[in-house]
Structure 1
């Protein structure tokens, strides 16, 4: 019996992406339909759809599309690929196959709960992951993939704003349950760039650092340079971390105007919004969430 084959529209709906995205993946990365209809039109076979689902899972964990496509094309049929390291350093611990399957199911479950605006189920899933895996792994393996997926749906359709707001509020509440680190004299200041409203990663970083015993002061979203300057002068921080999510907030020119202090502090930036070519040379840029935690927790005097 011939396996059912699908057109690009049906596959796009199944994956929650635009049909144009599937055509781009086919054209750029060679991950497209291999079947044909009776009339000679290209159709996606079940194996093609499985490869696309693999590629999508890889992208949701931060793997670049070209690498994600290569992983999907090289994976043996019916066998999940080993998770790829991502972020600077490539030091992510590989997951066992059974762990990978559990992780994928948990991501789907959290996405369904968020899409249903089920705050109780959403909170339960997030809270369990934080307690079981810690902030870094729960963020990387569960929370961030779902946020990225919701953001992609919004980019395609303009919908899901209420879903993102609910999920962000629930995650923020769960992160707030992480016990604060004891005062250590010189905290790490965490802030968003001026006009940057995406503050959830900063709160996640605060919770992850608290787990390692690092004291933080979180200033939150849209921190004007004069306010950050005042905070630096009043607290004498060990480090200052500034987040930029979007290119509109990633102009780093103002960072050079931040005041010096004694003893000196480390200035670290993170997020995809920064214009890397214009970052002053004395600034440390981190490319991934685990890298940010490691960089800030390993500073002398951090604990």
Structure 2
């Protein structure tokens, strides 16, 4: 590469980004914010990453995946002697880790770690590629259960423990919503009457409902998604307007899980089937007319069979 004998030629930012699986913009941000960047220059003004630089970046990535904030991970990677095992500062082993559970072993575990790493680095392009790949290869239900849920669960636990990662969760949710929206609606659905999907009043956690809509589309079932925080009157009006086969209502948190209003939803002809999902519901007070589902797969199975009943 034109350098003195024995001197490392070094790699460009694009080559290092490809090697580490992050965006080049992320590497430039790490260099600018945390001073963990290329240490030598090639001919002209271009800077090159040496093998030592790349090792530091790999250490930083591992620490971010383990739950350290990027700034802390960069400082640890820059300060530690070469070859010394590193842990996030100020935390016991595993105490600030983004847990992914038993599924973090093997090829599936590598995908979970990759998505978690990209999320912690706020690397949207890598997140989009990972989610799209999983959805296209495995379908919505499997990708949701085996990739998305473990990563979201890990980020949620870290937030509960430290108060951090709100930005990480929001960006990942945005990426997931975009990827799920790319699942095409069925051109000739199996159901002639719609299925309504809604969140309970004041329930803002709508991502699982978007996953359900995409999974139903894969099963060739059309659904109308009303979104988050659907007032009772609005859901009642939608039932009257559409005469749905089924109505699905999601509650994520106990504050939105009071089911007393469900029995007051208007009837339709033929009668619709009421299905509820999410951990927020007070199960002991659900109306007898409601069917409780406990997973995305169970919701899909129940709702895809509804159209055959009427």
Q: Distance in 2 between matches of 1:302 and 1:138?
A: 29
Corresponding residue for residue 108 of structure 1: 113
How far apart, in 1, do the equivalents of 2:195 and 2:307 lie? 12
Shift of 1:282: 1.3
Change (3 A) 1:14 1:192: closer
Deviation at 1:144, TM superposition (A): 1.1
**CA distance in 2: counterparts of 1:301 and 1:185, whole angstroms:** 10
- For 1:192 and 1:105, locate their aligned partners in 2 and report how far apart those are by CA, in whole Å: 33
What pairs up with 1:12-31 in 2 under 5 angstroms? Answer: 12-13=94-95, 15-16=97-98
Matched, 1:283 2:290: yes
Equivalent residues of 1:180, 1:215 under 8 A apart: yes
Kindly report which structure 2 residues correspond to 1:113-124, keeping only aligned pairs within 5 A, or say none.
Answer: 113-124=118-129
- Which sections of structure 2, spanning at least 5 residues, go unmatched? 1-84
Structure 1 segments, 4+ long, off by >4 Å, are none
Contact 1:214–1:302 (CA<8 Å) still a contact in 2? no
- Secondary structure in structure 1 of the residue aligned to 2:202: coil
Report the number of matched residues: 221
Give the TM-score taking structure 2 as reference length: 0.68
Match of 2:277 in 1: 270
Look up the match of 1:243.
250
Q: Decide which structure has the larger Cα Rg and report it.
A: 2
Aligned pair 1:233/2:277, yes or no?
A: no
The equivalent residue for 1:260 is: 267
Supply the distance in 1 between the matched residues of 2:133 and 2:307 (Cα, whole angstroms): 32
Alpha-carbon distance change, 209 to 16 in structure 1, aligned in 2, over 3 angstroms = closer
| Inter-partner Cα distance in structure 2 for 1:302 and 1:176 | 28
CA contact (8 A) 2:96 2:158 kept: no
Q: Which residue of 1 aligns with 2:36?
A: none
Deviation at 1:14, TM superposition (A): 6.1
Please tell me whether the aligned partners of residues 244 and 272 of structure 1 are also in contact (alpha carbons under 8 angstroms).
yes
Task: Tell me which residue corresponds to 1:176.
Answer: 181
CA–CA distance in structure 2, aligned partners of residues 151 and 9 of structure 1: 18
1:10 has 2:92 as partner: yes
Question: Following TM superposition, by how much is the alpha carbon of 1:300 offset from its aligned partner in structure 2, in angstroms?
Answer: 3.3
Q: Secondary structure at the match of 2:276?
A: strand
Residue in structure 1 matched with residue 157 of structure 2 by the alignment: 152
**Ranges in structure 1 where 5+ consecutive residues have no aligned partner:** 18-55, 62-79, 81-99
Q: CA deviation at 1:145?
A: 1.1
Q: Hey, what does 1:297 align to over in structure 2?
A: 304
- Equivalent residue runs for 1:188-203 within 5 Å: 188-203=195-210
Q: Is the contact made by 1:196 and 1:249 (CA closer than 8 Å) also made in structure 2?
A: yes
CA distance in 2, matches of 1:189, 1:283: 14
Match of 1:208 in 2: 215
SS at match of 2:229: coil
Deviations 1:74-107 (A, max 9, x none): xxxxxx9xxxxxxxxxxxxxxxxxxx61111111
For the aligned residue pairs, the C-alpha RMSD in angstroms reads: 2.2
TM-score under structure 1 normalisation?
0.69
Partner residue in 2 for 1:164: 169
Decide whether aligned partners of structure 1 residues 302 and 110 sit closer, same or farther in structure 2, where only a CA change above 3 A counts: farther
Indicate if the aligned counterparts of 2:260 and 2:286 stay in contact, CA closer than 8 A: yes
SS in structure 2 of the partner of residue 292 of structure 1 = helix
1:223-249 per-residue CA deviation (whole Å, 9 max, x = no partner) reads 000000000000010000000000110
1:126 equivalent in structure 2: 131
Q: Deviations over 1:43-99 (max 9, x none)?
A: xxxxxxxxxxxxx614xx7xxxxxxxxxxxxxxxxxx9xxxxxxxxxxxxxxxxxxx
Conserved? CA contact 2:198–2:227, under 8 Å: yes
